[in-house]
Amino acid sequence: MNGLGADLAELETLKRGLGPATVCDVLVCPPASLIARAASVAKGAFALGGQDCHKEPSGAFTGDISAEMLKDAGASAVIVGHSERRHYHGERDQDVAAKAKAAWRAGLSAIICIGETESQRDAGEAPQICHSQITASVPKNATSANTAIAYEPVWAIGSGRTPSAGDILAMHAHIRRCLTGHLGAAATEMRILYGGSVKAGNAKPILALDHVNGALIGGASLKAHEFLAIIAAAKPET
């Protein structure tokens, strides 16, 4: 819940900073109030997504936004099941799966978030939690073309703390195995993003890890120069 019209200037800076040397896909998910205006800024330089959607295409759901509305505003993707939605709004795995299906219905890609809390991690339950979230939150007809998974250890979001490289590697490998067991061959090319206090200073080693196919950036995406530094970190060594 960040961003007013004046902040579109950051997207102008982002667009100027992107160019032929950009080797990764760039997606910005502003608040719904800015998507249409952001589309006029982006003009194909980067993609836009929503932060959440309702499972229904329309109806008496005052204050909600449908996947179709996001698509109409200029979005090509939507985040579903973010830990803050799960925690503050009580969203269950089945709610997340329904929203993913809604995204596909509208022609959007779904970024499905999973991840454990600090108490679950300390109890050694992180692998089990992520497995159960995958099997219940990711519909069986998910593919690499319509879905990405974002692993966000809840305790690392906005805290400045990140798991060790070994911990991230182990969890992403575990998630790949869970996805393969759940979806079969469709999981082979599915992107698994890491989210949780990613910033310019730690992005390069994180993005170099096996099964880390991108990053879900929070606070560090609010300023274009910080976000551009993370994007630059995706470029492999030559």
Residues carrying an active site annotation: 82, 152
Distance, first Cα to last Cα, the chain: 38
Burial of residue 185, with CB atoms counted within 10 A of its CB: 0-12 exposed, 13-18 middle, 19 or more buried? exposed
User: Which structure tokens are listed for 23?
Assistant: 């080797």
The answer to whether 138 touches 182, Cβ cutoff 8 Å, is yes
Find, among 71, 76, 23, the residue nearest to 48 by Cα: 76
CA–CA separation, 133 vs 114, rounded Å?
A: 6
CA–CA separation, 45 vs 42, rounded Å?
A: 5
